[in-house]
Structure 1
Amino acid sequence: MDSRAPTSTYRLQLQPGFPFAAAEVAVPHLAALGVSHLHLSPVLEAVPGSTHGYDVTDPARVREELGGEEGLRSLSRAARAQGLGLVVDIVPNHMAMVPRHNRPLWEVLRKGPGSPYASWFDIDWEAGGGRTLLPVLGGPLGAELPHLRVDGEVLRYHDHAFPLRDGTEGLPLPELLDAQWYRLGWWRLARTELGYRRFFTVSELIGVRVEDPEVFDATHGKILQLLEEGVVDGLRIDHPDGLADPGAYLRRLEKATGGRWTVVEKILAEDERLPESWPVAGTTGYDALRRLDAVLTDPAGARGMLDRFR
């Protein structure tokens, strides 16, 4: 474990085309730049092919496309050999709304609010009459019916796959659709009829209820293990403002990590201050970057740009 607080970090955007092994090759060069820590984009299992990793599908596993857990541990050893620590990005607010890759979500769509995983996701079942809208269709349902087909216990639509409620696979298609815990709909309906919390207006990312202690434990176990075993040293928390109670989450996280160095992606307004009750080392620096960018901005042009924006 590296107990030093980072003095400077170098962010690496990991993806299938730039996995842990590629980052490991770059370690000597990055160490020569004088940074103290590498800042890694999300390392947990994500939608296959994702180039950013914020669409997590399994928080209990290190992403295989990046080299898996052994790849991460090898990168950590290489960084340590050069005197560098690791800070990793974690995403407590949401997971990928892609059932075929997100097994907990698959089970919720199959079994509804009675699923053991129902407490994971921020779904308002009552608002949808006991069902939740999945805004994935390219047009109104009637126009898309020819593209829907039943494949055993799975409903398929182009490259999408959805679980079927037990015992419904033999129903005629209209009745089968009405019998599910979800309602397939035109993507435009997400603006007015969505029944789950999402990341801003991104319907492909569904909100996670980390305010539930059991959900917190299930979604943070792997990261806490990596911290405990000294594979990583600090955390960057993505979008804490999306959480039901950011302060309570951060206090729970501080207790679970033993007070490890943590920063938050908190975008502060000009007159806003980071809550003093949050047990973090600070923000990820957007507020500082805004001031640095201002040095390179001609204020005389601001009014014209603002007028065009409006």
Structure 2
Amino acid sequence: MLRPEGTFTHQALRTVTDADARPFASVQAVLNAVRSGEIEAGLVPIENSVEGGVTATLDNLASGEPLVITSEVLLPVAFVLAVRPGTAISDVRRVITHPHAHAQTRDWVIANLPQAVVTEGGSTAGAAEEVAREDSRFDAAICARVAADLYGLDCLATDIADNPDAVTRFVMVRRPGALPEPTGADKTTLVAYMFADHSGALLDILQQFAMRGVNLTRIESRPTKKAFGDYCFSIDAEGHIGEPRLRGTLKGLHRVCRTVTFLGSYPRADKVEPKIARGFTDADYAAAERWIDDLMGREPRA
């Protein structure tokens, strides 16, 4: 998890486990600690319903030693304007917060703190911790209420998010090993690298999903950082690698892509089951295999 206590990541972690949590300063530090074996697993933010993907997580998962996602957490996000006791809203000139928190409260800040300058820092809880210092140069923090309470700050305003329905998605990441069993409501995350940049290169990738009836829940292009204009695609798809349609999709991607980085198949936090069209269910695939075996004179499969 990200430090200090009181971050949204800390809150998300507490919804799934009471185990001792070790805080780290950044997403990269968390993932490096998992890779080295320093910790067994790490929880990091990967996507926000307002701002989209968390690039620090997407890029660090796509590179370096392999890691896999084993579960996810969805956390509704609410922000407060936290100040040292005795501070009036007219006194607020300097505000500190996390970049994603700033993005999600920008309109409120413009409307209510037109005189304020916002500085982006490492975490919302870190912002609260900074403002709590008597010698801090910042007058207020945009953070979670739990962080304001933790550091003894007053809430001048609550529910200041521009979108009250904002949700942040977090993922639990571990070193490769046995994958969670299919539940019927699963998600698979991967990164697909084009074999070469050409007209229709993305279509080549998307066709592998479409021709097998696999729906995507997220797709984002990210620079590979190897050459200008060289991009890969970070993808979440409905389904589990243990299911024939996803297994076939991954095989197809392996054929048409330069590289495919598999980042895990795991239960969806919202437990939403995919709508699988006729011809793409496990039973349909099994029936097709039995038909082929019969044509070839083989003993039919169960």
TM norm structure 1: 0.26
* TM-score, normalising length: structure 2: 0.27
Which one has a larger percent strand, Structure 1 or Structure 2? 2
Structure number with higher helix proportion: 1
